[in-house]
Amino acid sequence: MARVAGFAALAIGLAACTRSLTSGPDPASNLEKWVAEVRARPAPPLDPLPVMRQFETFEYSAQNMRDPFSDEWQERDTGGLRPDPNRRKEALESYPLDSLDMVGTIGKGAGLVALVMAPDKVTYRVRPGSYLGQSDGRATGVYEDRIELVELVPDGAGGWLERPASIALEDQ
């Protein structure tokens, strides 16, 4: 019985909705009326065109100047400092200088030899004239507490500069 009453209420509600929709003004006619009103209005005036500025002309006159994209402007190296490309690299030249540790010395006087441990935990002997580090560093002196060397670094203009460096004895 409750079902029948529910269906009856639903049917009455739907009938009321359809009756209210059909009895009111037609929405399509309202839309057509609004469109006709909008078309009848006069168009708003257009904004004036912007004034075009006159640009000054530029005449390129650098034909006789150097080309900034060529290498001709660089100073030619006249044989100053430079690394020797034909020199055979030594074992310690494959490591950065700051990764090498001086762990001791052997000998005395002019025959003093430094002991340097590389990151691979192998100890190498370094004498004056030995090369180490990745900047063509050459040992200039071996002392009880340090190794002094000179590195060749590029100067940014196609040449090379000598830069002093040293490796101190590691404190235990």
pLDDT tens per residue across span 149-160: 999 998 887 888
pLDDT digits (tens, 9 = 90+) for 119-145: 999 999 999 999 999 999 999 999 999
User: In the chain, what are the helix, strand and coil shares in percent, each to the nearest 5?
Assistant: 25, 25, 50
What is the DSSP secondary structure assignment for residue 169, as one 8-state letter? B
Intra-chain end-to-end CA distance of the chain, in Å: 101
Nearest to 97 by CA among 120, 118, 121: 118
What is the DSSP secondary structure assignment for residue 110, as one 8-state letter? G
pLDDT digits (tens, 9 = 90+) for 74-122: 555 556 788 888 989 999 999 999 999 999 999 888 889 999 999 999 9
Between CA 41 and CA 14 the distance in angstroms is: 42
pLDDT above 80 for 14: no
Between CA 132 and CA 136 the distance in angstroms is: 7
Nearest to 146 by CA among 109, 107, 102: 102
Residues present in the chain in total: 172
Give me the DSSP letters along 120-146. TS-EEEE-TT-EETTTTEEEEEE-SSE
Structural contact between residues 123 and 103, judged by C-beta atoms closer than 8 angstroms: yes
Q: What pTM did the predictor assign?
A: 0.53
Nearest to 95 by CA among 121, 129, 128: 121
Which tokens in the block code for residue 97?
Answer: 């200088």
